[in-house]
Amino acid sequence: MNSGGGSSSPAKPGIQTPKTPPSNGNTVPQPPAQNGRTSGKKKTVDPTPDPVTMYESVRSRIAALEEEEGLEEEEDRKMAEQAHSAVRGMSDSAIHSKYVDLYQEMKRSEREYAKERQKLTKDKDAAKSQLTKANHSRTKLENLARELQKDNKRLREDSRRLLSSVEDAQEVIESMKSEIERRVDDVKSRRDTLRDQLKNPLFPSSTPSPKHSAYVDSSEKPSSASKSEVILKVVCKYRAELFFKVSRKTKLGRLFNAWTARMNSGSPGQQPADTDQDVSSNAGKVPNHMEFLFSYHGRCLDGNLTAEEVGIEDDDVIVAVEIMDLTQDADEAIVPPQHAERLKKNWNDDPQEARKAMEDIFDVVVRTRLEGLLTQYELRERHFEAIIRSKELEVLLAKARAEEQKHLADVERGVSNATEAQNMKLQQNMENMQTSQARLLDKLIACCKEVRPSGERSQRLFSFLREELQKRGTKIADETPPPEGQPASGV
C-alpha cells in the first residue's frame, strides 16, 4: 500500500493540474490586497471595507473545500488505481526520485514565496510613508494657497486705499494752493489799500523826533491778570506807551476814549491806566484836540468790537497813530500852552520821515505775515511729499512680497506634482506586486494539492491552510478594526 500510495503522486499532476488553480486562486490572495487599499485610503478619509464580510467569504471557502473533500476521496481512489496502472511497470527507485523532485520544487517555491512576501511588505511600508509625505505636502500647499489668496486680497484693498488717499492728498494740495494764492492776493490788495491811505492828507505832515519817542506811564506793568481780563499796551511812536487792563467783554471804544483823554490832558505819566475804573471814568470824555487811529497786526480796529472778538491776548500791542488837522493856522496852539515848549521841542517838521515810518511799520507787519504763510505752505508741501513717498515705498514692498510668494508657490506646486507622480508610480508597482503574490499563492496551493498522496496528508494540508488563513485573518483584524457591534474575528 505504501508503494501504491507513493506511486499515486506522480500520476496526479498530469490529471489535476488544469482543474485546481481556478478553484483556489481567486479568493486566497484577496485579503492582503484589500488590506493594502484600506490602509492607504484610511489616510485619505475614504470608507474601509468590512472585515467581517471578508472573514465570512474565507470561512465559506473553507467549508466548500471540506465538502469537496469527500468527493475528492473517491476521485483520489480512482486516481490511485490509475496511478497503480500507470506505474505498474516502473521501479520503486524511479517513483521515489520523482517524488523527491516534486517535493524539492515545492520547498523552493515556498522559499521564493516567503522572499517575495517580505519584499512586498517592505515596498508596501515605503509606499505608505511616501503617501503620508505626499498628503502632508498637499496640505501645506493648500494652506499656502489660502494664505496667498488672503495676501492678494489685502494687497488689492491696500492699493485701492492708497489710490484714494493719493487722490485726496492731491485735492487737498490743490485746494491749499488756491487758498494760499487767494490769501496772497488779499494781502497784496490790503497793502496797496494801506499805501493809498498813507498818501491821504489826513495823516500828519509833521511828526516829533524819534529820539524823544514816548511818555512812559509811571505805573509798572501788572504781573498777572485773570482769565477774564487782558493786559495790553497802546503805543504811539511820538507820544507815549501805556498799559491798560481791560475785560474781554469791554468794547474797545472805551479804551480808545481813555487813551485820547489821557493824551489831551497832557499828563500821561501822572496816573496809572491799568484798571477798568480808569477806562470807565474816561469813557465819556470827548477829545478836544487830538484824534488817533488804532491798528492791531496791520488791521484798523473798530470801537464797537471787543477784545475777545478781535482776538487780543495778554502782552499784545495796539499801535496808535495821531491824526492832525492841517487846515488850521500855523500859529494856533495844538497842545495846551503849558506843554507847548515840550511838544515843540520834540516835534519833527519833516513829513517824509513820518510817512516813511508808517510805511516801515506796515511793511514789517505784512512781511511777517507773508513769511509765516509761505513757511506753512512749504512745510505742508514737504509733509505731503513725504507721505506720498512713503505710500509709494509701501506699494513697492507689497509688490515685491507678492512676487516672492508667487515664486514660492510655483516651486511648491512643482514639488507637489513630482510627489504625486512618484506616488502614482509606487501605487502601480504595489498593485503589480500584489497581483504577482496572488498568482504565486494560487500556484503554491495547486502544487500542494497535486502532491497530496493520501487522505491523511490531505487533512494535514487543509489544517495547515486553515491555520494560515486564521493567521492572516487575525493580522487583518489587527490592522483594520471592525465596525461597532460586530465581532473582530470568527474564522
> What's the order of all strands across the beta sheet hosting 215-216?
215-216, 240-247, 229-235, 317-323, 291-296, 299-300
pLDDT of residue 33: 43
Helices (H) and strands (E) in the chain, counts: 11, 8
pLDDT in tens, the chain (491 residues): 344 444 434 334 333 333 444 444 444 444 444 444 444 444 554 566 677 887 888 888 888 888 877 777 887 788 778 777 766 777 778 778 878 887 888 899 999 999 999 999 999 999 999 899 988 988 988 888 898 888 888 888 888 888 888 888 888 888 888 888 888 888 888 777 777 766 654 433 333 333 333 333 333 344 443 467 888 888 887 778 888 888 888 888 888 888 888 888 865 443 444 444 444 444 444 445 678 888 888 788 888 888 888 888 888 889 888 876 555 554 444 444 454 444 444 455 677 887 787 788 888 888 888 888 888 888 888 888 888 888 888 889 888 899 899 999 999 999 989 999 998 999 888 888 888 777 777 776 776 666 555 566 666 666 776 676 666 555 544 544 444 444 444 43
Strand (E) or helix (H) holding 348:
strand 347-348
Fold adopted by 207-348: Ubiquitin-like (UB roll) (3.10.20)
Q: Where are the domains of the chain?
A: 2-150+408-479, 207-348
Task: Measure the CA–CA gap between 21 and 24, rounded to whole angstroms.
Answer: 6
Query: What pLDDT score does 272 carry?
Result: 40
Report the C-alpha gap between 334 and 187 in whole angstroms.
Answer: 36
Q: What is the pTM of this model?
A: 0.24
How does DSSP classify residue 306?
B
Helix axes 351-450, 455-479, angle to 10 degrees: 170
- The predicted structure's pLDDT at residue 111: 92
Retrieve residue 243's grid coordinates: 498799559
Backbone φ and ψ of 240, nearest 5°: -160, 170
